[in-house]
Structure 1
C-alpha cells in the first residue's frame, strides 16, 4: 500500500451548517478529531489513487458546534454534517484563503435555506454569493498582480538610474580632478559598473516579451544589442581601445541618456508624469543619439586594424567546420548597420515625440 494521500472532499453549506462528502468507497474510518476550529481525519478505502490510506486536515473559517455535528459512512462516501455556531454565510470553508486541489464545491448542497425562502430562492442566493466571491478574488488577484509588476519595474529602473548616476559622477569628478588624463582612465574607473548595467539592460528586451511593458522588443534589442557589441566585443578585448579618450565621451553620452530615460520609466511605472523629465525624455535624444552613434562608429573604425592584427574572433580555413569568418569585414558591415540602425532609432524617437507633443503645425494652430 502506498503512503497517505488526500481524498477528494466536496463541501457545501446552509445558513447554519456545513456538509462534507469524502469521495471514498469501501471506507474504514481510522480517526476523526473534530474541534471547534479544526477537523483532522484519516481513512482507509478506495479513492482516486486506488486502495490506500487517505487523510486531510481543515482549519475552519469560524468555530463550529461539535456536539451537534454528525458523521456517517455509506457505500460510496463518508459524510459529515457539521453545525455552525452562528447562522451566517461563510465566504470560504478554511481559515486561510488558499487553493487546495483536493477540496471542491458541492453545488448540490451549496444553498441557503430558511423558513421563509423557497428552495429556488435559496439556490439563487447561493449562486449570487459564489459569483460575488469569485469577482472579489479576481479583483484582489488583479490588484496584487499590478502592484507586483509596478514594484518590480520601479525597482529595476531605479537601480539602473543609480548605476548610471554613479558612472557619471565618477567620470565627472575625476575629469575635474585630473583633467584630460581622466579620459584615458575612464574604462579603468567604471568598466565593471558599465558592464553590469548593460548586462542588466538585456531585461529590457525580455520585459515586452513577457507583457510587463506595452512597448515592442525591437527598439530595446537594437539599442542594447548595439551597445553590448561595442562594449564587450570591442572595448573589453583590447586595452588600446580602453585607454582611448573617445571611450570617456561614449560612456558619458550613454549615461546621460539613461539619467533621463530611467527616471521617466520609473515614474511611469507608478502612474506619475513629471513634465520636465517627460520633456527631456522626448527631446534630449536629439543631440545625444547622434553623438552616441558618432562615438560608437569611431570605436568601430579604431578597432578594425587592431582585430586585423590580432585575428581575434576570426576563423580561417582550413578548419573542421569548413567555414571562414573574418571579423574586420564584419566590423566594416557593422558600420553600415550602425548608421542605418541609428537613423531608424532616431525616426522612432521622432515619431514618439510627435505623438507626445504634436507637430509644430498643430501647435501653431492650437495657439
Structure 2
C-alpha cells in the first residue's frame, strides 16, 4: 500500500521547504522511473542468470526506505497528511522490503515480487510527478485523471503482490524462527516474527478496503465533468 499525502499550496510553504519538497518528489520520481525501466527491460530481454531481486534490490532499498521521510513530513505538518495512515502505508512496504525480501530467500522468489514492483513503480511515478507539479502549480488534467484512475487496478495488484511475498516468506520465517525470541531468556520476553507477519497479513483485511474507498472518494471530488480542481 502507498502513502497518499497531498502537498500544501506552494504559497503556504517557505522557499526552503518548498524547494526541499520539489527535490524530494523529483528524486523519488526518477528513482521509481528507473525501477520501472529495470523491470520492463528484465522481462523484455528474456531470462537472465541474475534473478529479478538481484537487479532491482539497490534501487528498491534506496527509494522505498526514503519514503519514511513522508512520515516526518506528515508529523511536522509540512504536508497535510494523517500521520497514523501514513505510518501504516509506508511501514507496510518497508516491512515487505526489509522484513521479507532482504532476510528470506523465499520472499524474492515469490510470484508476488514482479506484481508488487510493477504496481509500486507505476503508482509512484504518477504520484511523485503529481506532487512535484502541484508544488509548481502546473498539474495538467491528464495527470490528475491518471492519478485517480490507475489506482483502481494498481492498488489491488500491489496488495496482491505484497501479500504473496509475505505468504512466501512466513513459512521460512516459521521454520527458521527468524528474528524470534523464545523463553527462557534474560529479557523474560517472547516474540514470534512468524506470527507477527501473519498478523500484518490479517491487517490488510480491514485496512485495505478503507484506503481503497478513500481513493474513490478523492476521485469523485477531484475529477468532475472532465475538469480538475486545484488540489489544496
TM range (shorter): 0.7 to 0.9
Give the drift of 1:184. Answer: 7.3
Contact in 2 for aligned 1:187/1:242 (Cα 8 Å): yes
Q: Secondary structure at the match of 1:320?
A: coil
Closer/same/farther in 2, CA of residues 207 and 183 from structure 1, 3 Å limit = farther
Q: Could you tell me how far apart the structure 1 residues matched to 2:68 and 2:195 are?
A: 26
Contact in 1 for aligned 2:112/2:163 (Cα 8 Å): no
The structure with the largest helix share of the pair is 2
Matches within 5 A, 1:52-63: none
Q: Could you tell me how far apart the structure 1 residues matched to 2:66 and 2:189 are?
A: 33
Give the drift of 1:147. Answer: 2.3
Query: Any idea what the Cα deviations from partners look like across 1:158-210, whole Å, max 9, x if unmatched?
Result: 010000011110111121111xx359722100101111001110111111222
The residue aligned with 1:164 is: 32
The residue aligned with 2:51 is: 185
The residue aligned with 1:294 is: 160
Q: Secondary structure at the match of 1:188?
A: helix
The residue aligned with 1:353 is: 219
Q: Could you tell me how far apart the structure 2 residues matched to 1:184 and 1:298 are?
A: 21
Q: Could you tell me how far apart the structure 1 residues matched to 2:146 and 2:164 are?
A: 26
The residue aligned with 1:321 is: 187
4+ long deviations beyond 3 Å: 142-145, 181-184
Contact in 1 for aligned 2:111/2:165 (Cα 8 Å): no
Q: Could you tell me how far apart the structure 2 residues matched to 1:241 and 1:145 are?
A: 41
The residue aligned with 2:64 is: 198
The residue aligned with 2:86 is: 220
Number of equivalent positions: 216
Larger radius of gyration: 1
Closer/same/farther in 2, CA of residues 214 and 183 from structure 1, 3 Å limit = farther
> Where does structure 2 lack aligned partners over 5 or more consecutive residues?
1-9, 226-232
The residue aligned with 1:50 is: none
Matches within 5 A, 1:61-140: none
Closer/same/farther in 2, CA of residues 277 and 339 from structure 1, 3 Å limit = same
Give the drift of 1:143. Answer: 7.6
Task: Please tell me whether residue 276 in structure 1 is matched to residue 128 in structure 2.
Answer: no
Give the drift of 1:254. Answer: 0.7
Give the drift of 1:301. Answer: 1.3
Query: Any idea what the Cα deviations from partners look like across 1:118-173, whole Å, max 9, x if unmatched?
Result: xxxxxxxxxxxxxxxxxxxxxxxx98963222211111100100000111101111
Task: Please tell me whether residue 254 in structure 1 is matched to residue 107 in structure 2.
Answer: no
TM-score normalised by L of structure 1: 0.55
The residue aligned with 2:3 is: none
Give the drift of 1:258. Answer: 0.3
The structure with the largest strand share of the pair is 1
> Where does structure 1 lack aligned partners over 5 or more consecutive residues?
1-141, 360-367
Closer/same/farther in 2, CA of residues 257 and 145 from structure 1, 3 Å limit = closer
TM-score normalised by L of structure 2: 0.86
Flag the structure with more relative contact order, 1 or 2, with Cα contacts below 8 A and sequence separation at least 6.
2
Closer/same/farther in 2, CA of residues 352 and 162 from structure 1, 3 Å limit = same
Contact in 2 for aligned 1:230/1:296 (Cα 8 Å): yes
Q: Could you tell me how far apart the structure 2 residues matched to 1:143 and 1:339 are?
A: 39
